[in-house]
Each structure stands twice: as C-alpha cells, then as structure tokens.
Chain A
Amino acid sequence: MDMIKEFYSGFSIMNQEVSLVLVLVFILLADLFLGEKGKKYLQLSAIAAFALNVVYGFTLTIGSTYEDSFAGMYVTSDMHILVKNILNIGTLLVFFFAHYWNEHENKTQSGEFYFLTLSTLLGMYLMISSGNFLLFYIGLETASIPMAAMVAFNKKAQESAEAAAKYILTAAFSSGVMLFGISLIYGTCGTLYFTGVTQAFQAEPLQVMALIFFMAGMGFKISLVPFHLWTADTYQGAPTAVTAYLSVMSKGAAAFAFLCILQKAFQNYPESWQNILWWIIVVTITVGNLFAIRQKNLKRFLAFSSISQAGYIMLGVIANTAQGMTATVFYIFIYLFTNLAAFGIISNIENQTGKVGMDDYNGLYKTNPKLAVVMMLAMFSLGGIPFFAGFFSKFFIFLAAAQQGLYLLVFIALLNTIISLFYYLLVVKAMFIETSDDPIKPIKSDAMTVIGLAICTIGMIVLGFISPIYEYMTSISF
C-alpha cells in the first residue's frame, strides 16, 4: 500500500503534465462524441481547454530550487515550469494561426490536429524534465513521432507526404545514433541518471565518443549544421501552422533539454563538449545564413533563418553558466513571438491566396499595410534591431558568451548578423520598396489570426523593455 502511495505522490509535482493529459483526453472524447453538428464547437472548445491549461501553468511555482520524483527520473524547478509555460504560450499562438486552416482545409480532422500537437507537447515536457536518459529518450520520441503525422497532414499535397517521409526517416536515424551514444554512456558510466553520469564521466575517449554521438542526435532535433539537411524540405512541405510549431516549439524545447543535460550530466568536463560546440555554432550560423540568402520561398527562407537562429541559441549553451541559461531561455521566449509572427503572416496569406514566394510579397504595404508592418517588425526583431525585443535577446546572449571570453565566437556571430540582416531586409524591401503588377489583394484576416498577431506584436515591441521578466529568469536559473 505504501508503495502505491509513494508512487502516486510522485505525480504531485507533475501538475503541468497531468493537466495537459486531462486536456488531451478531453479533446479526444470531444472529437469522438461531438456529432456532425457539434463539430463546429470542437475547435473552440479545444482552444479554450488548452488556454485554461496555459493559465493554470502560470499559477504554479515550486519555491525551492529543485525537486524530483520517481527516484530522480523526473526533475523540476521553477525554470522548468517557466520553460513549459513559454512552450504553452507558443502552442496557443500556433492554435490561433491554425484556426482558419483547420476551419477551411482541414475540417474533418481538426480534432486530430489538436490531439497530435498536444501529444508532442507532452513529449517535450518529459524531455525537459527528465533526470535520466531513458525518460529523456521517451520524451524525445513522443515529441517526434506524432510530429511526422502532423507534417503529413496536408493529404492532398505530395510535398507534405515527402516532407513527412524525410522527417521520420531522419528522426529515426538520429534517434538511432543518439541511442548508440546513450548505450555507450551506460556502458562506460554504469548509470543513466544524470547525477550518476556527472560523477562517472571522466572524459575518457570512449565517453567523449558517446558524448559526440549524443550531440549528433540532438543536432538533428535542433537542426544544427551538419545535421540540418531535413529542415528546409520539411518546413516547405508541411502545413504552415505545423512548420511554425516545428520551428519554434520543437527547437526551443530540444535546445533547453540539451542545455540542461550538458550542464548537468557533463558539467565536470565542459571543455569536452565546448570545443565541439564552438565549431558547430560557427558552421550552423554561417551555413544557415548563406543558404537563406538564396531562398525565394518564404517557408524555406525561414527554415534557413531558423537554422542560424538555432546557432545563436547555442551561444547561451556554450557559455555554461547560469547567465547563459537565462539568456538562452530569454532568447527562446523572444524568438517564439518573433518567429510565430512571421509564420502567422505567411500562413494567413498562404491560406487566403496560396502565395508563399518572396516576389509575391512585392508591394504588400500598399495593399495590406497592417500585415506588412507586422512582418517588418518580425524581420527587424529577428535581425536584432532595436528597439524590438530581438535586439535585447541577442545582446544578452552575446554578453553571456563574451563573459566566458569567447570573443572570437561572438565576433563571428556578429558578422553573421550582418548577413542575416541583409536577407531580412530583402523581405522588407519586397514589401515596402518594390512594386508589383499583381500585388496580393487586400486580405480580411479572421479574428483568431488577428488576436495571435496582436499578441506577437505586443510581445515584440514591449518585452525588451520589461526588465522584470529577465530578472525573474535570472533569479530562477541554475
């Protein structure tokens, strides 16, 4: 009896996971039992249920710095809760942007869309909160496999199926590589608990090899160069709402989990992974930027842009300090609003006109001034231009890396921001300066998209100025 009691008490700190599972079950049942007539309420009820979950997430706090349950399998802290809340906000925004698409093109399967999305979110929760490589792996797979189904959601389009095939194959392959790395870790350290690995890891050659395999697997998830090859095709083929989800949530969660593991399990020999990461960051940022210049399709364009952004996020990871963690989480937080704003605009325009080319955006300001301005803000914020939030997040993440004396890396990254500014300005140029014979007609956005874009816009403009957010993150980082 006591054992059962102890087992269930383990759930007491898993409030977010439990409430998310409740939402999941609710959506599943609603999808099942709502008849044809009730279907139209399905979307609203799903969004409302999840919104409640988002609000609930913000009421949670641990107080003490660190807690674990299930014998250290599951760990949590205020920082973990915050990251999950950030992912929640992002997912809610994606739901706002996906509403129109679900309503018109995906009517019969909208319930499945919400269910699958939230399943991957649950996987990300577990991945972040894992204290053991096994739970981490389970979370990772839970986050990946439903994602492949989401990528393939657009059943009429061949591209979508192709994208899903590419995604699932590379995901499976990278999982294999990572599992091999994990098995080597188990073989050399004798344990899979992060705390145990910390003590057993001596940076012996075999252990370093295990670490490299592990990093390669993570590189696939975060789409770091040279493990990025699936990114552009998958982003292009997937439905835009899914692409948005993939580029922000999937990446953000994986980056944070990566940071936690590197700082926790391998903290005693940081140089063993910092040296590799240094080079990965340099090529990631550079290759991502150089390839983005040539893209004409905006979804591919943002795919490469997000590759280089992942490189910037890794700057906070390589710093290996509490400040680095704060900067990373803050960067993900800002990146979420910014990138989702860009994807919100793209999906809005794609849904209503079917256009995603950069040239199609010529003269957008003349016909759709509001959309053009929000897109411009997003581009400036991604490029790190003040006074938009992207400037602050970039400045702080560079500051965190510079604190460790990585001036050369910071300098390379800064030179890369000039390249990135070039292609972000190309979008601004298309919208504001170029003229077009066949501009996009004035679009009447639906209410959900407007709400989503408004939230993103406020986030991009205001968040940099509100220093208490950053102070709070500093106070809970470790």
Chain B
Amino acid sequence: MNILSTFVIIPLVMMAIIFCINGEKKDLIRKVMAAGALAMLGTSVYLTVDFLAQRELGDTAEFLYRSDILWYETFNIHYSVGVDGISVAMLLLSTIVVITGVFASWGLEDQTKEYFLWFLMLSLGVFGFFISIDLFTMFLFYEIALIPMYLLIGLWGTGRKKYSAMKLTLMLMGGSAFLMVGIFGIYYHSSVDGNFTFNIIEIAQNHAMPVDKQLIFFPLTFVGFGVLGAMFPFHTWSPDGHASAPTAVSMLHAGVLMKLGGYGCFRVAMYLMPEAADQLAWIFIILTGISVVYGAFSACVQNDLKYINAYSSVSHCGLVLFALLMMNQTAMTGAILQMLSHGLMTALFFALIGMIYGQTHTRDIRYLGGLMQVMPFLCVCYVIAGLASLGLPGLSGFVAEMTIFVGSFEHEDMFHRVIVIAGCTSIVITAVYILRVVGKILFGPLYKIVIEKNEKEGSVKSFYISEHDGETHRYPLRDAIWYEKIATIGLIIAIAGIGLAPLWLSNMISDGIVNMLK
C-alpha cells in the first residue's frame, strides 16, 4: 500500500475505533487518540526521512510516492496522490499540530467521544488535501476539513460561539463556491486533446489554458483559497472563529487549516495559471499587503488574548500569500517556511492561551497580571512563542521572515519596493503587540491574584479572584501538568528546530518550488 494513503486510513480507522468505544470510557478514548496521533507523526517523520533519502539518490521526479486509482471514469476523476518537498513539510507540520492538539485537549470532559470524532474528521480532511494531486479529491478533502469546524466551535467553544461558528462556516463555504467555479474553469479549458482532466500534473504539463480564460478563473481560484488564508477583506471570520473555538481546534485551525489556503493558492491557482498570476499579482499583492499591516495594527488594540493572536495570524498568513505572489524562489521558499513557522508558533500560542484561560476563566489582558509568579512554566513558553513570532534569530520566525523580505526585495521596480518596505513595518508592530502582552500579563504586578502560603504544610496555593454575576469567584491556579507540558515542549522543539537548522528544510522546500517555477 502506498505510504501516503496511510495518512487517510489512520484517521478513518481511528474514527471507526472511537465510534465503537462507549462514550463513558474517556481515558480509553484519549489513549486511542494519542496512539493514533503518534502513529501519524511516526509516518510523517518516516516519510520525511525517506523522501530526503530518495532525493539524495537522485530521484528528480516532481512528485514522489505516486499512486493513482481511477474513480469516476466519466469525468476522468482519480484518487491520485503524490508529494513534493512542500507537501512533505506540510504533512510534518500537520501531524505535529495534531498530536500536540490531542494533548492540549486531554482535559476535555464534555462529550469527549464526539469531540475527538470531529477532530479526526478535521485532520482527515487536512491530510487528504496535502497528499492529493487531483483537483476533485483535493476539493473533497478541503470541504471535509471545513464542516467539522461548525460543530467543534458551536458545541465546545466559548463566548459568542454560535455566531462565530456560523460566520466561519458560511464564509469558508463562500470561498469554496468561488473555488468550485475556478476548478470547473480549469477542468474545461486546460486539455489539449479534449480529454478533460483534474490531475494537477497533467494540467501543468499541458499548459493549454488560454490566457483570457486564466484571467477569469485565476482570481476566482485565488480568492477561493484566499478566504481560508485570511486575505483582506475576507479575513473577518478568522478573529471571531479563533476566539470562540476550543483550544485544540484553534491550534489546528490557525496552525494547519489556514495553511490550506496558502498551499492551495500556490499549488492550484498559481501553478496551473501562471500567466494570469503574473498579470494579476499586483492586485493581490496590495490586498495581502493590507492584511499584513492591518492585521498587525489590529492586534495592537485588542484586549482578548485570542483576538490578539487571531489578528496576528491574519498578519502572518497575509505574509505567506504576499511572499508567494513575489514569484521568485527565495520569497516563495520563505512563504512555505512562514507557513510552517506560523503553524507551529500559533499552535503554541493558542495552546498556552487555552491553558491559562482554563484556570483564570478570562482572557482579557486588562484583568490579568503577574502570571509569571504563579505559573512560570507556561509563562516561559509564552515568552518563547512571542519571541518566535517577532522574529528572534534562532527561532523559526526569523528564518521565515528574513527569507521572505530578502526575496521580495529582489524586485527592483518602485511598486514592489514600496510595498515590501510597508510590509516590513509589520515586524516592528508585531514586537509592539507581543511585548505589550508579555509585559502586562506575565511580568506585571500581581493583579486579582492572591498567593496563600500555608506555613504548617509548607504548601503554596494561589487563586484568581473574579467578580461577575454579583458573586466573587476564587479560581485555583496551578502550573502546567504533564499533558500540557508534552504539548508545549513538543511545539517548542519544532520551533527551535526550524530556527537552528533551517537548511535541510529550505532545501526540501525550494526543490518543490524550482519545479513549479519551471
């Protein structure tokens, strides 16, 4: 069996197993989840090693591990899989976020079984999307990944969850409406001999799509994926959705699902319609440039921790599309690196916010202060995530942003220069909102927190005092426990790994980009 298909089969098998387990046996369900997620991580690590080995041996095929099964003969639809360096990197990212997401939601008690079933369906869609090279199956998996979000947010979310869930689902489905027309256009206009095909490789080789058709269908496809990539002005689902979603779902959504947008823009819109991409890039460069700066500014004025990170995601994901549209090797490599880097650090952010919120029951930075004294482990992790986000050398953010801006600056005309410089300001603004949070809630003076020392027992207990509904609540505070530590440490290792040894990764990625730029 093809190794790539295991990425689809493992979640399916896990769904079947968990479906059969009694919903009361929550520990068993969690263990099955952990085992399955570990198996997926193992598979993706093996895939990465094996992929690099094959490239080492000189296998220069564009996509490796090809497998192809005819599905609908009438439309020439195949279940067709294959990966290049970029997809391998995305799979690795996804499996890391999935396994840390499982540990981050270890403590979830409400309808655990249903929660993990939907969670698995979400990851199934994500994996399937990254391995597909057939537009139909790709679109199928894309939509499979979208719909579990509705129930995950609506049922297990917080705050205005019903509104946010509906908004997110409808906006993303709106994106897929654009996308679907784009796919039809590609399908009917890209064959040379009348044999229509959904296969990305064949379409790219035929390169038969007339430019006037490209000019119609490129914007549709790009916007379709751009909605998921939180491109201005279609980003408004993102802050609400992320703020309301439960921890692991925010992680997976911001960490991986938003990358589907960037990946799709790259793999479908730009790869299959290069002439239109070249002609229309300027429009989307402006839009994504606005995303980058606007997202960063918005993050500065938010008070809810999740909103801050959601807007920060808009900014960072905008940077991904921004760099892709620069259409040169350096910038595009940077874009993919940024996808990985942002995926990991935003997952870490959302995990930490979830852990803090689980204890204080508030995410409002106006009502938090001095957490470093109470939960040092979580706070140190938060600082690390923050530093990665503002691009400290040695962590993943630096590598990605550096590459992006160096690559973007290769364009010598005025338009690109101006917009790149404008984009660069986001780095500074990022520092503002990150340091604002770090300074206020982590290092500031204790606020609404009491530390009670019991000298007889030698124990120290701390409480968060909150007043609402006319009552005073005392929420006990503690530092991270084992499963939270696994989740955070796993992500930090990955972030530092990219930051310290970026070369093998960027080589793997640019190998895919070189093929595309041809």
Same complex for A and B? Answer: yes
Residue A386 contacts which of B140, B177, B185 (CB distance < 8 angstroms)? B140
Interface size class of B (residues with CB under 8 A): 20 to 34
User: Looking at chain B's contact residues, is the secondary structure mostly helix, strand, loop, or mixed?
Assistant: helix
Q: Which of B163-211 contact A (CB under 8 A)?
A: 166, 169-170, 173-174, 177, 180-181, 184-185, 187-188
Interface residue? A113 (CB, 8 A):
no
Residues A399 and B75 in contact, CB atoms below 8 Å apart: yes
Residue B144 contacts which of A387, A396, A403 (CB distance < 8 angstroms)? A387
Residues B181 and A407 in contact, CB atoms below 8 Å apart: yes
- Which residues of the other chain, A, contact B412 by a CB distance below 8 angstroms? none
B416 to chain A, nearest CB (A): 32
A residues with CB within 8 A of B? 323, 326, 380, 385-387, 391, 395-396, 398-399, 402-403, 407, 410-411, 414-415, 417-418, 421-422, 425, 428-429, 432-433, 467, 470-471, 474
Residues B74 and A418 in contact, CB atoms below 8 Å apart: no
B171 to chain A, nearest CB (A): 9
Residues A415 and B174 in contact, CB atoms below 8 Å apart: yes
B48 to chain A, nearest CB (A): 28
- Which residues of the other chain, A, contact B150 by a CB distance below 8 angstroms? 425, 428
Residues A410 and B73 in contact, CB atoms below 8 Å apart: no
Residues A471 and B73 in contact, CB atoms below 8 Å apart: yes
Residues B71 and A407 in contact, CB atoms below 8 Å apart: no
Residue A422 contacts which of B77, B170, B177 (CB distance < 8 angstroms)? B170
Residue B184 contacts which of A391, A410, A415, A425 (CB distance < 8 angstroms)? A410
5 closest A-B pairs by CB:
A414-B177, A402-B184, A433-B154, A474-B74, A467-B72
User: Looking at chain A's contact residues, is the secondary structure mostly helix, strand, loop, or mixed?
Assistant: helix
- Which residues of the other chain, B, contact A407 by a CB distance below 8 angstroms? 181, 184-185, 216
- Which residues of the other chain, B, contact A398 by a CB distance below 8 angstroms? 180, 184
Residues B177 and A417 in contact, CB atoms below 8 Å apart: yes
Residues B184 and A432 in contact, CB atoms below 8 Å apart: no
Per-residue interface assignment for chain B, residues 125 to 137, with 1 indicating a CB less than 8 Å from any chain A CB and 0 otherwise = 0000000000010
A74 to chain B, nearest CB (A): 29
CB nearest to B70 among chain A residues = A467
- Which residues of the other chain, B, contact A467 by a CB distance below 8 angstroms? 71-73, 77
Could you say which of A403, A421, A422, A471 has the most chain B C-beta atoms within 10 Å of its C-beta? A421
Q: How far is the CA of A461 from the CA of B136 in the complex (A)?
A: 18
Q: Could you list 20 A-B pairs, sorted by A, with CB under 8 Å?
A: A380-B147, A385-B143, A398-B180, A399-B184, A402-B188, A410-B181, A414-B177, A414-B180, A415-B177, A418-B174, A418-B177, A425-B150, A428-B150, A429-B162, A432-B154, A467-B73, A470-B72, A470-B74, A471-B72, A474-B74
- Which residues of the other chain, B, contact A403 by a CB distance below 8 angstroms? 188
Q: How far is the CA of A386 from the CA of B136 in the complex (A)?
A: 11
Residues A428 and B151 in contact, CB atoms below 8 Å apart: yes
Q: How far is the CA of A387 from the CA of B141 in the complex (A)?
A: 8
Interface residue? B381 (CB, 8 A):
no
Residues A432 and B74 in contact, CB atoms below 8 Å apart: no
Interface residue? B155 (CB, 8 A):
yes
Q: How far is the CA of A474 from the CA of B72 in the complex (A)?
A: 11
Residue A399 contacts which of B154, B174, B187 (CB distance < 8 angstroms)? B187
**Apart from the given pairs A386-B144, A407-B185, A429-B166, 11 other A-B contacts in the complex at a CB distance below 8 Å:** A391-B143, A399-B187, A402-B181, A415-B177, A418-B170, A422-B166, A425-B169, A429-B154, A429-B162, A433-B151, A467-B72
- Which residues of the other chain, B, contact A474 by a CB distance below 8 angstroms? 74
Could you say which of A380, A395, A396 has the most chain B C-beta atoms within 10 Å of its C-beta? A395
CB nearest to A465 among chain B residues = B71
Q: How far is the CA of A385 from the CA of B148 in the complex (A)?
A: 11
Per-residue interface assignment for chain B, residues 248 to 284, with 1 indicating a CB less than 8 Å from any chain A CB and 0 otherwise = 0000000000000000000000000000000000000
- Which residues of the other chain, B, contact A432 by a CB distance below 8 angstroms? 151, 154-155
